[in-house]
Amino acid sequence: MLWIPVTIAAAGFQVARNAAQRSLMGGGGPWGATLVRFLFGLPFSCLFAAVALALLPSTLAFTPVYFGWSSLGALAQIGATAALLVAMHRSSFALGTAFQQSGLLFAALIGWLVFGDHLSVLAWTGILLATAALIALSWPRRIDGPRDWTAAALGTVSGASFAVSANAFRQAALALDPAHPIPAAIVTVAVVQALQSLALGGWMALFARSALIAVLRAWRVSLGAGLFGALASSGWFTALALSPAGPVRAVGVVEMPMAALAGKRLFAERLTLRQWLLGAVTAAGVLLAALA
């Protein structure tokens, strides 16, 4: 059950990283803010990988299958992060985080249909309950005009892409060293972030140079986002190496109340009573999935 506290810690670090990234949206735009978590997280991820390899036993196998899963997860995570940041910008920090959690059901379904992950009836009940509450929570409300589905649509795209990346990262860690999942997961964080930094950084150098320069100039905030991002990714990858993606994503919904508090404190955002109640229903579903 080590994956549960590891997931909760990863969720906390992810909220801190998302807050730092959201503050960079103005100058760097969604792609610049997305690059931050990879480029500025890479030095920390390499350090964590070196420590893990020094302290823990491991037998790493860098096969084409490993790099295939790592590359798929890396590209899916780039798109997911950019979509999430735009969803947050169009709605709020807390609700953007809620939209992201739509990946919960996608992660469970992909794990079951593609990789044969087996979940109990209680776990599926919790996942479906949390998903239903998330749909109700993210349903756009009509305010002086037609409903704006942009944030919800981008959040759903983000959640589905995060589900793909979560399952891909799990398969990558298992391909690297199935006998020693923790060092395999932490090394995979460094490999993935290197791939993402090269791919997105190279693209921005060619086609979005001004956004890249804005991110580099804001290096203090970017460095903080990178540190929290490396800590969050190390936690997520470790949890995914220890457990199927569905339950990990379910426990990861604990990020929602953290994001609500952060949104209120950092961005002066407020949630309605309806949103708090639906958040409580989501939490109940998470508990069912985690305890199954």
Average pLDDT along the chain: 83
Report the alpha-carbon distance of residue 225 to residue 33 in Å, rounded.
9
pLDDT in tens, 222-236: 898 899 999 999 999
Report if residue 256 sits inside a domain. Answer: yes
The larger pLDDT score, comparing residue 148 to residue 130, is at 130
Report if residue 194 sits inside a domain. Answer: yes
pLDDT in tens, 91-140: 665 666 666 666 667 788 888 888 888 878 888 888 888 778 877 766 65
**Confidence (pTM):** 0.81
Structural domain that includes position 243: 3-141+152-291
Report if residue 171 sits inside a domain. Answer: yes
The larger pLDDT score, comparing residue 199 to residue 110, is at 199
Report if residue 250 sits inside a domain. Answer: yes
What residues contact 89, with CB distance under 8 A and at least 6 apart? 22, 25, 30, 96
Report if residue 147 sits inside a domain. Answer: no
250 phi, psi to nearest 5 deg:
-65, -50
Report if residue 146 sits inside a domain. Answer: no
**E strand map for 145-191:** none
Q: Domain count for the chain, please give it.
A: 1
